[in-house]
């Protein structure tokens, strides 16, 4: 899910000793920082390996690729079990777990509504207009996470409604980040950072020889400003927000986060949510989940589930922010 662009910050000391790789994937960019010279692979070999990793994730889970495994499942009208790669079953299983925890506020079958509002594959939200109530009601009939089943042994999916449409964009990018890290670690890389479109994971030590320092961006529409710095090591960080992918009509702002119960974009003061979790896939999913809940319900959910979450919301005086109890140890205090 679109969110803040996270980047290294605060101290560039030692940056001259780091190695950089970058490219494009999933409709956005990726960046890798290594703080040690690879011992068994060249940088060119690692670049190819990373590109292959992202190509594979797209080939499995992209809704933008008509021939991806997920797209083929969406195109199928069968209500029988459809065998899929273990990766797809794993991500869907986690997503359905989040749907259950949130009582449907998070729902990977919301794709028909996302597409209807102009935020889906091939769409341009800036040119969008709000759909009619009748169109929204028709799309709502195709939505419902309980209409989707998954089994991991053997890996397979089944839909109870032929036109069910699964969209993993709120969690697949985080999974891609984790896969890239896993590839690099398999190549003997002990210290690094992977970032894809704002979702990030770090392991080992930064170029300074201590914890990695990552910025959470202020959720404004005009430029990139650091809101808060965090310390991150051996975990994933993801942000979901309403300020990068939206359109305005008659003075009203419509964001890409759709409420699967009403069919309309989420309308609340919450501007962005950042989550730190054991892996980036979970951070990605939970950030979207909390954004969909709205500020008050998200606070309650984060407390109940002991999530490390950082909230930024709009007030008449500007932005306000708050860290959950589990997030506070990661905050970098201003000197």
Which neighbouring-strand residues pair with 171? none
Residue 257 lies in a domain: yes
Residues 221 and 263 in one domain: yes
Measuring CA to CA, which residue among 311, 257, 303, 213 is closest to residue 13? 213
pLDDT at 130: 79
CATH number at residue 309: 3.10.520.10
Distance (Å, rounded) from C-alpha 180 to C-alpha 11?
Answer: 25
Residue 168 lies in a domain: no
Boundary-marking domain end, from 106, 125, 159: 159
Residues 206 and 311 in one domain: yes
Residue 65 lies in a domain: yes
Residues 210 and 284 in one domain: yes
CA angle 263, 264, 266 (to 5 degrees): 120
Q: What are the tokens at 122?
A: 């091939």
Residues 220 and 320 in one domain: yes
Distance (Å, rounded) from C-alpha 237 to C-alpha 174?
Answer: 9
Q: Give the DSSP H/E element, type plus range, for residue 46.
A: helix 43-61
Boundary-marking domain end, from 98, 124, 159: 159
Residue 276 lies in a domain: yes
pLDDT at 244: 57
Residue 24 lies in a domain: yes
Residues 95 and 233 in one domain: no
Residues 232 and 150 in one domain: no
CATH number at residue 149: 1.10.3980.10
Measuring CA to CA, which residue among 150, 171, 172 is closest to residue 160? 150
Considering its fold, how many domains does the chain have in total? 2
Q: What are the tokens at 107?
A: 């729902």
Residue 165 lies in a domain: no
Residue 4 lies in a domain: no
Residues 41 and 154 in one domain: no
Distance (Å, rounded) from C-alpha 65 to C-alpha 35?
Answer: 34
Residues 265 and 243 in one domain: yes
pLDDT per residue, tens digit, the chain (335 aa), is 333 334 444 333 345 578 999 999 988 899 999 998 898 889 999 999 999 999 999 999 999 899 999 999 999 999 999 999 999 999 999 999 999 999 999 999 998 988 887 777 655 545 567 788 999 999 999 999 999 999 999 999 999 999 999 999 999 999 999 999 999 999 999 999 999 988 999 999 998 889 999 999 887 766 677 889 999 999 999 998 865 555 565 555 656 678 888 888 877 788 899 999 999 999 999 999 999 999 999 999 999 999 999 999 988 888 899 999 999 999 998 64
pTM above 0.85, yes or no: yes
Residue 41's Cβ-count burial label (10 Å; 0-12, 13-18, 19+) is middle
Residues 92 and 129 in one domain: yes
Residues 135 and 92 in one domain: yes
pLDDT at 333: 81
Residues 78 and 221 in one domain: no
Residues 128 and 221 in one domain: no
Classified as helix, coil or strand, 122 is coil
Residue 261 lies in a domain: yes
Boundary-marking domain end, from 159, 194, 214: 159
Based on C-alpha coordinates, what's the Rg of the chain? 20
Q: Are 109 and 144 in contact (CB under 8 A)?
A: yes
Distance (Å, rounded) from C-alpha 50 to C-alpha 193?
Answer: 13
Domain range for 136: 61-159
Q: Are strands 199-203 and 155-159 parallel, antiparallel or unpaired?
A: unpaired
Measuring CA to CA, which residue among 259, 221, 255, 261 is closest to residue 240? 255
């Amino acid at each position: 899910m679109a969110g803040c662009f996270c980047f290294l910050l605060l101290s560039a000391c030692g940056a001259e000793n780091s190695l950089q790789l970058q490219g494009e994937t999933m409709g956005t960019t990726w960046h890798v920082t290594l703080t040690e010279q690879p011992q068994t692979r060249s940088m060119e070999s690692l670049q190819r390996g990373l590109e292959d990793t992202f190509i594979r994730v797209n080939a499995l889970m992209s809704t933008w690729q008509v021939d991806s495994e997920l797209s083929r499942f969406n195109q199928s009208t069968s209500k029988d079990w459809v065998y899929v790669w273990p990766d797809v079953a794993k991500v869907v299983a986690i997503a359905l777990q989040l749907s259950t925890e949130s009582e449907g506020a998070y729902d990977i079958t919301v794709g028909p509504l996302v597409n209807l509002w102009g935020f889906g594959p091939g769409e341009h939200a800036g040119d969008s207009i709000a759909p009619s109530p009748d169109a929204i009601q028709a799309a709502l009939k195709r939505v419902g996470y309980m209409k989707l089943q998954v089994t991991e042994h053997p890996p397979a999916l089944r839909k109870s409604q032929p036109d069910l449409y699964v969209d993993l964009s709120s969690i697949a990018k985080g999974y891609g980040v984790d896969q890239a890290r896993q590839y690099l670690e398999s190549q003997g890389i002990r210290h690094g950072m992977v970032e894809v479109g704002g979702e990030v994971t770090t392991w080992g030590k930064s170029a300074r020889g201590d914890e990695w320092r990552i910025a959470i961006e202020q959720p404004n529409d005009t430029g990139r400003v650091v809101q808060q710095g965090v310390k991150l090591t051996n975990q994933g960080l993801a942000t979901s927000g309403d300020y990068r992918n939206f359109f305005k009509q008659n003075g009203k702002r419509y964001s890409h986060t759709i409420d699967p119960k009403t069919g309309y974009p989420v309308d609340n003061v919450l501007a962005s949510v950042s989550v730190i979790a054991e892996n980036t896939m979970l951070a990605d999913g939970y950030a979207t989940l909390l954004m969909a809940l709205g500020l008050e319900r998200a606070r309650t959910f984060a407390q109940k589930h002991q999530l490390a979450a950082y909230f930024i919301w709009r007030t008449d005086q500007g932005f306000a922010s708050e860290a959950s109890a589990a997030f506070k140890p990661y905050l970098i205090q201003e000197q």
